[in-house]
A and B are shown apart, each in its own frame.
Chain A
Amino acid sequence: MSTGQDRTGAGQERRSASRPLIAALKVTEISRWRTINAIFWGALAQGSAVGLAAVAAWLIARAAGMPSPADLALAATIVRFFGIGRGLFRYVERLFSHDTALGGVARLRERVYDALAASGADRVLALRRGDILARLGTDVDAIGDAWVRAVYPLGVALLISTATASISLVLVPAAGIVLAVCLAVAIVAPAALTWRSARLAARLGSAADARVSTASLSAIESAPEHRVWGTWGTAMAELRAADSDAEAAREAAARPASLAVAVQALAAGVALIGSLVIAVTTSGIPPTTAAIVALLPLAAFESAATVPTAIMQVFRSREAALRIEEITGADLASEPSWPASSPAEATPAVPRLEARGLHVGWPGGPSIGPIDLDLPPGGSLAVVGRSGIGKTTLLLTLAGALPPVAGRALIDGRDATAADVGRLVAVTAEDAHLFGTSVVENLRVADGALTDEGALEALREVGAATWVNGLPEALDTPIGDGGGTVSGGERRRLLLARALVHPAPVQLLDEPAEHLDDAGVETLVQTLGAAAGQHRSIVVVTHDLALTRHVDRVLDMDSLEQTEPDTAAPTDE
């Protein structure tokens, strides 16, 4: 279940075709009927352009024979209809396709959210906030873009090209064949060249871009040092070298892209010359037919011109789909399987937490251990040590969110698993999220059945009641994103109140004293003292010495030694 293995797996996957994209497109649940509809409207719009060219050619050819003006009336009306139709149909098509894609994006986002939420706690808790936002935000949007900017335009291009070539084929078969071949070239060759360009840009570009970023950022960061030593020129020379690397990468990607555009111009030109020559030299066809066949190529290539953009979008969306797949690690097509959550056992008994020869660490990173500890039901433990030593990692391992590197983390004698997270053992991370909703709803995140009275009680215990009552709408005041701002100390108290109302019998708190003033720490100490012992066990990670004096045991991660707290703590055994 190591993340490292998953990454390699996904890397090999990259070689294969666009399967993740197709899977993601399926999850948007956009019906075939809607797709046909979107392509239909798009084809009407593009078809209007082709129709306008064809009927106008007929009109001019017919008029050249100087018939009575009445003979032109119908053609004139049709030309005007196509003139209006293109704009109108395009408007309908754009609205319809965007509406369809946005609906699909909403469904996909729910599915990715659920898949992520249902996947292992180790996976979710290891993700950076920025990654989660990017995957569920812009990457999911990119799948929607694949519909609007790739699938539909490609469908329209194929349909219209086939239809245009067919018209020509019916009128003068030889000209039809020329047009069909040229259209096929104008679609297939640019598609292949664009794909190659996108791959080159991704392969060469990302390494060059990384070097440019490093050079720029370190130049900016170290500017004072370079100014003192007079070495600014060296820093700039390095940036210039990185930049010319990046230019070379962009140049390599630009070559096939430029070729794609040139091939399209060439195909259109060849079709024009071929059709014109065949139309003029074929004997026995009426002038109107000759004019249509000769002039059709001028309008026929517009839909094919969308191919490079569409292929570029396929590439981007496919990358997005790969990233989404990587982050969820699950097959999106199947319904997420939720770990058995049983509201029936609302208050499970307080379990015993143990570590035996436990080594903890993130997959692929350094580990620390061995740690042996025993936290009996109702006990309390403080974990101290310098930053970066692995205190948070230990917390997550004890909770079952991270698998041990070696040794065992036990809950009531059995190995802790991800299913225990949030049920038997709840974790309040240092950067736990306050949702952009009311104060009370932020507490209900921990316990959906929490009453207003219960919320106020918990807030009183953590010393935040006065603050909350002073808010404009008390418990119902919006906070977090889009609401009023919350100071660091208030945030801590709210998170602590949330942990207090959470039903899990073991609470693991990461740095609950950060940003608290002395009075706040005093309240925290009392609250924890009252909470531990009765119906829960508590583990705190802290820098604050005051906290360590009021727990049963202190684990020093620097020395891996356990000590009794400095001053006598209230005993419970």
Chain B
Amino acid sequence: MKPLDPRLLREVAPARRYIIVTAGLGALLAVLITLQALVIGRALAPVLAPAPLDDDGLHWWGFLVPQTAREIGTAAAWLVAIVAARVGVTWLQERLAHRAGSQVISQLREKVVDHTAALGPRWVASGAGADVTTTVTRGLDALLPYFVRYLPQLMLAVTVTPALVLVVLGLDWISVIIVVVTIPLIPIFMILIGLVTRERSARHLEAMQRLSRRTLDLIAGIPTLKALGREHGPGRRVRELGEAQRKATMGSLRVAFLSGMVLELLTTLSVAIIAVTLGFRLVDGLVSIETALAVLVLAPEVYLPLRNVGTHFHASADGIAAADAAFDVLETPAPVIGAEQGVEAGSLAGATITAAGLAVATPDGTRDAPGDATLTALPGRLTALVGPNGEGKTTTLLALMGLLPVDRGEISATAADSALILLSEVDGESWTANFAYVPQRPDLGPEGRTLSLGQRHLTAMEAAFAAADRPVLVLDEPTAHLDGRSRTALIARLRAAAQQGRTVIVATHEPELVDAADAVVEIRAGVRS
């Protein structure tokens, strides 16, 4: 698993900026940690030294913190400045992390929603589309802990850890050998543990999922048991399943926690070994007191980011999964309807719109709905699509408007001057701009949502009648929310619109509207061929 998705950096500007700033803050933090360790070494050394100190015990790193810091007043002044800076960096880092995470969530959500619209209604209704709603509503939230907890530690692991290794190298190369030997052991042991226990983990995981499914099954059945008066008893079964699940989970945790233990063990043990070797070399006078103290303070800081990366592993996994889900959507190519670089369709006023042998696969791919739709919608006429639910009336309407790619068949228009316009040869958007469309559930924005569905429908239809520059009127179930009187009135208006020369196409179940239509086309689903 990649700890950082490169697509996140490429596609989302706040993420890119954040990573750069965090790396910079990491470098600054490395400097502050180093200074703090050197000052502590300077300040404490005179207390511990049996004789007054003469040489600079920090060798060439001594230039960073002058020997005057051996005087406690100076050391304290240094430390006040360092601590103030560390508090500032910590606070800034945390604020930036929250802000970046928050902006990335918003930006990715907007990108996903935008691209989902381009992918079209049929994709949304398919299995892949079902996850989009989860992604845009809750899924992306997992990116916040990823940005706030995990990424900063990851950046510290690639800035602070190597920087401090270099500092320790300048102070005491023997300690660096211990560090350099142990750090690669961490991934090696983790991989080894993973390999050895893979089969066992898979077995436990399977058992846990099975038990969890059975528990949820019992839980989901509570209303049914209640309705049958049989609710007393399964509680005990829930408990037994819970106990079995505890055993299975513990089996898997015994393995899963091993890698955490190895991480802690290796990092802490190497700090201990560094301390012990420093002690013995100090006795022999092989290392200065100031250096020994500075390295003792630095050693745990070298490993801290690595340990924190391990601690926040879950934040990482969830964040990566959320980003993956978003990019999976963004990388799905949107269908092209009409021709890329096609010519403008021009106005379809007075044109006859024809569909021949139209077939569109259902989202689950089991059937075609419509299966084989052929229709001709004349200008000045009212054309009604009829047929049972789920057979493809709405899909046919969407295809006619150039909003859906079709699997078979052709959509075209014959202009008033007999010129033939094929949808597949013109620019899709310019074709679509000819239609005034009222769907079953019109969306009029936030204000519209306070209206009832019936009122929304009426408002949307008024807009469609008024849009004189859109010669084709397409209405999906226009009479669904109307009582008898308004129904009759609406049908009269549809007839009037047709008489004014507009092409009117409706999908309907309403007998009164079907009777009023000039042409009736039955839409039927077909088997997938």
Contact = CB atoms under 8 A, between A and B. Distances in A.
Closest 6 CB pairs of A and B: A422-B229, A106-B242, A83-B272, A269-B83, A87-B265, A254-B98
A445 B227 contact: no
A258 B97 CA distance: 9
Interface residues of B, number: 123
Contacts of B194: none
B235 A65 contact: no
25 contacts: A69-B280, A88-B265, A94-B260, A95-B253, A102-B250, A117-B222, A124-B222, A132-B223, A217-B136, A220-B117, A238-B446, A254-B95, A254-B98, A254-B99, A255-B95, A269-B84, A287-B48, A294-B40, A422-B226, A422-B227, A422-B229, A445-B225, A446-B228, A480-B217, A481-B214
Contact of A217 (B137, B232, B279, B403): B137
Contact of A482 (B50, B105, B210, B219): B210
A243 B257 contact: no
B249 A266 contact: no
Given A60-B48, A110-B242, A258-B95, A273 B79 contact: yes
Interface in B207-245: 210, 213-232, 234-236, 238-239, 241-243, 245
Contacts of B214: 436, 481-482
B283 interface: yes
A477 to B, nearest CB: 16
A217 B242 CA distance: 37
Given A76-B280, A228-B432, A294-B40, A221 B227 contact: no
Contact of B401 (A114, A133, A228): A228
B18 interface: no
A288 B230 CA distance: 72
Interface in A65-122: 65-69, 72, 75-76, 79-80, 82-84, 86-88, 90-91, 94-95, 98-99, 102-103, 105-107, 109-111, 113-114, 116-118, 121
B69 to A, nearest CB: 11
B232 A117 contact: yes
Q: Find the residue from B227, B265, B280 having the highest chain A CB count within 10 A.
A: B227
A136 interface: yes
B220 A63 contact: no
B213 A482 contact: yes
Given A107-B239, A262-B91, A236 B110 contact: yes
Contacts of B221: 433, 435, 445
Contacts of B216: 133, 137, 481
Given A83-B272, A232-B117, A102 B246 contact: yes
Contact of B219 (A80, A98, A133, A218): A133
B254 A95 contact: yes
Interface in A258-273: 258-259, 261-262, 265-266, 269-270, 272-273
Interface stretch (B165-173, B195-203, B288-296, B371-379): B288-296
Given A95-B250, A212-B109, 4 more contacts: A79-B275, A91-B261, A118-B232, A228-B432
Contact of A243 (B106, B241, B272, B446): B106
A59 B133 contact: no
B72 interface: yes
Contacts of A82: 268, 272
Contacts of A137: 215-216, 219
A290 B47 contact: yes
A42 to B, nearest CB: 13
B283 A63 contact: yes
Majority DSSP secondary structure for residues of A touching B: helix
A486 interface: no
A244 interface: yes
A215 B109 CA distance: 11
Given A90-B264, A106-B242, A243-B106, A265 B86 contact: yes
A277 B238 CA distance: 60
A99 to B, nearest CB: 5
Contacts of A303: none
Interface in B246-284: 246, 249-250, 253-254, 257-258, 260-266, 268-273, 275-276, 278-280, 282-283
Given A63-B282, A287-B48, A428 B79 contact: no
A250 B98 contact: yes
Interface stretch (A16-24, A49-57, A172-180, A366-374): A49-57
A429 B227 contact: yes
B454 interface: no
A56 B116 CA distance: 59
A257 B102 CA distance: 14
A124 B225 CA distance: 10
Given A243-B110, A250-B98, A262-B87, A116 B222 contact: yes
Interface string A484-499: 0000000000000010
Main secondary structure of the interface of B (DSSP, over half): helix
B244 to A, nearest CB: 9
Nearest to B404: A224
A300 interface: no
A230 B433 contact: yes
Interface of B: 40, 43-50, 72, 75-76, 79-80, 82-84, 86-87, 90-91, 94-95, 98-99, 101-103, 105-106, 109-110, 113-114, 116-117, 120-121, 124, 132-133, 136-137, 144, 210, 213-232, 234-236, 238-239, 241-243, 245-246, 249-250, 253-254, 257-258, 260-266, 268-273, 275-276, 278-280, 282-283, 285, 289, 292-293, 296-297, 300, 398, 401, 403, 432-433, 435-437, 439, 441-443, 445-446, 449
Nearest to B98: A254
Contact of A88 (B83, B219, B261, B401): B261
A113 B283 contact: no
Contact of B106 (A116, A220, A246): A246
Interface of A: 48-49, 52-53, 56-57, 59-69, 72, 75-76, 79-80, 82-84, 86-88, 90-91, 94-95, 98-99, 102-103, 105-107, 109-111, 113-114, 116-118, 121, 124-125, 127, 129, 132-133, 136-137, 209, 212-230, 232, 234-236, 238-240, 243-244, 246-247, 250-251, 254-255, 257-259, 261-262, 265-266, 269-270, 272-273, 276-277, 279-281, 287, 290-291, 294-295, 298-299, 338, 341, 399, 401, 421-423, 426-429, 432-433, 435-436, 445-446, 448, 480-482, 498, 502, 504
B72 A281 contact: yes
Given A94-B253, A220-B133, A227-B117, A426 B239 contact: no
Nearest to A448: B230
Contact of B239 (A109, A423, A502): A109
Nearest to B118: A223
Contact of A223 (B117, B232, B245): B117
Nearest to A503: B229
B144 A250 contact: yes
B279 A220 contact: no
Contacts of A76: 276, 279-280
Contacts of A114: 235
B133 to A, nearest CB: 6
Contacts of A422: 226-231
Contacts of B79: 269, 272-273, 276
A255 to B, nearest CB: 8
Nearest to B257: A94
A247 B104 CA distance: 10
